[in-house]
Structure 1
Amino acid sequence: MSEAGVLSRKADFPGLLTADGRPWHYLDTAASAQKPQKVIDAMTRALGEDYATVHRGVYGRSAQMTLGYEAARRRVAEFIGAEGEDEIVFVRGATEGINLVAQSWGAANLGEGDRIVLSMLEHHSNIVPWQMIAERTGAEIDVCPLTEDGRIDLGALEAILTPRTRMVALAHVSNVLGSVLDARAAADLAHSVGAKLLLDGCQSTPRMALDMKALACDFYVFSGHKLYGPTGIGVLWGRKALLEEMPPWQGGGAMIDKVAFDGTTYAPPPQRFEAGTPMITEAIALHAAIDYVAEQGPDRLFAHEAALARTLREELRSLNSVTLFGPEESAGIVSFALQGVHPHDLGTILDEEDVAIRAGHHCAQPLMEHLGVPATARASFGLYSDESDIAALLRGIERTLKIFG
């Protein structure tokens, strides 16, 4: 094992130890990342001595918390290369962000016979919301196939697009295969027929430098908990002009201008899409998580995790009983299957060895059908991962093969 493990920051993450102090080899970062102590501390302060509601209080602590909450919005905008903070909508997670676009933009812009293009590798969160709005509006869904090595086939995408295509919604990085989309090329193709492009950035945001202008997409979503931040918060980025045209999705406090029984007017974006008391402490902690990731350097994170993925693939390829899925170069995610061993059985045995992987369909059942398997085992790396995690995984696989051999 040569080049992997150069960035590991295990000491920053208290969750990477077992209850009795042994190393816990966490290889499920694609599902949810562990939290550095800086994020835990920020969340604790926000819930404790700093806590107050935002936007409404005239007292000092409320004003300070409001400043912190909106500073988090500005930090997100800076981190992803948005033009301004008014393009950043806080949501509960990427799933809610996609549903918001589907139900707001989609309801206003889709009609009978319009087309929505998805790919074969999408997470259920980027499939089901579009199915729901298609059923409601009469739009239809087209599915873009994959290349032989598990990438979204842009040549096939170009052939699928028609003047009736209104939305193209794709994963920037596959949560199963780790394959990286050429997002700018996808944007150019979508825009060539007048369609919008939404990117699911759950797996890309924690490990890639982002620039919304360079990507040229129209909507971008990601979840805080995969970015070393807390659960319960995510981000929808949208072009300002698009957000201004979109109607509210949910009603309540905070998203209004004036309420009367004979009619209500709405606040401008992003407040228009943030009904109710917001995710105050979660936003503060997300700010801390972004600062932490930025300190490490997104480009370094990608190189670190991609190197680990290459190392693991090389090791697994030497085992005759292993089938590997996805491209040789991946964004820190490796999916595989052991001959004669269900992934759930492998996951159970690995757990006994203090190794955590994901086993199942990874909320990507159409992709599993395409791969011809009911489930895969998935090892996914984070900035805290290193070669000791790979070694522990391989020991667990060897033990599993002996048990089932």
Structure 2
Amino acid sequence: MKNELSKEMIDNLRRRVEEQHEVPVVQRAVIKNGVYNASENDKVRSKLNRTFSIELDTGKVSNQRHSGRCWIFSTMNILRHHFSNQYEVKDFEFSQAYIYFWDKIERANMFYQRIIDLADRELEDRELQFYLNSPNSDGGQWAMAAAIVQKYGVVPNDVMPETFNTKDTTGFANALNLKLRRDAIQLRQMKHRGASEAELQAERELLLGQVYQMTTIAVGTPPESFDFEYKDDNQKYHIDRNITPLEFYDKYVGVDLDDYVVVTNSPDKPFNQLYSLPSQDNVIGGKEITFLNLPIQNLKELAVDQLKDGESIWFGNDVLEQMNRKDGLLDSELYKQDELFGVALDMTKAERMLYRQANVSHAMTLTGVDLIDGKTSKWKVENSWGEQNGDKGYFVMADNWFDDYVYEIVIQRKFLTKEQLEIADSTPTPLKAWDALA
């Protein structure tokens, strides 16, 4: 058979390795210590000290536990920083479970509509397969959290606290995805049999009621109103009775989420253009996901401006690359795997995105930056993995890691130039569901 891996070829491969006398030494080190420990660059730690020329006081970190809700946690971090500064409640926390609940309901509603809209396509259709592969995942974008907040408001964490199923979403996610895929069969069959639009929408509402029931059982019942009771850092007591989640947001947070732009660095596509990602919108009629695509240096300049103004920054990144979780280190030169294995492993950022090596796998919060002679050298990062990682939950990120693995930052409109605002307000170019930014 053509190109079959023959014994002769295998013998040649073995012989080439045996001729490299350094391989046994490296082999012993890697087998005993693992790839990361054996390839760690000891020079990185010395430059990643935890002193920052600009640093926000943001209190204790949160903990998303065994869930993919980082995008919710980072959004709630930004909002609680606003609240904490205004009302002097340093370690206040909003309910991530509340946002998670409504995202499950809204995302199920969106899924049903997409299934109905695409019912005439073959099952092998790439877009349809994208939705069926992950009907209601944990992951998300900043605009998705913003859409939920704009429609449902927020509540304090003690009003709707974490549950077993928010701390570990595995069991509920499996049950919900099974339910949604089964419902997809039913809706497609109804459409194929010629069901009317009214019949399809009636069935959709029935199915959505079942999703609401499942989510209520697993996560809890979201409050329609509550009493807001707290003590500030000066131990002064406050209470505000019978307030709704939207009233609470307007009164105590008041951040206009439409006053922000998601600025991205996606060098696999043209810069200075606006893109949208309709395949990941989660609220019908709600905030849409858009990206203002700019060169990386623009992202850094915008981030510095916002930190100088005293506001933290939501950012999307690929935290699984060049990261030491225990010590909270992020540096593009942290692990020298190319030197360890003696092979070339370099790719440009655009190449990583085009060839599926890149992944916007996580969202965190920028809370500081170190400027040396006016240039960024390292960044302070608030993570949502609890206090046991990094320095009480805070990571330090080298500037080269920002270049290579930061893809999105959320910036106030007032920091954008006139030209950038014009692009941000233009008609976006829709991206495919399988774009790297998804």
TM-score class, shorter-chain normalisation, is under 0.3
Q: Give the greater-gyration-radius structure (CA).
A: 2
TM-score w.r.t. the length of structure 1 is 0.24
TM-score w.r.t. the length of structure 2 is 0.23
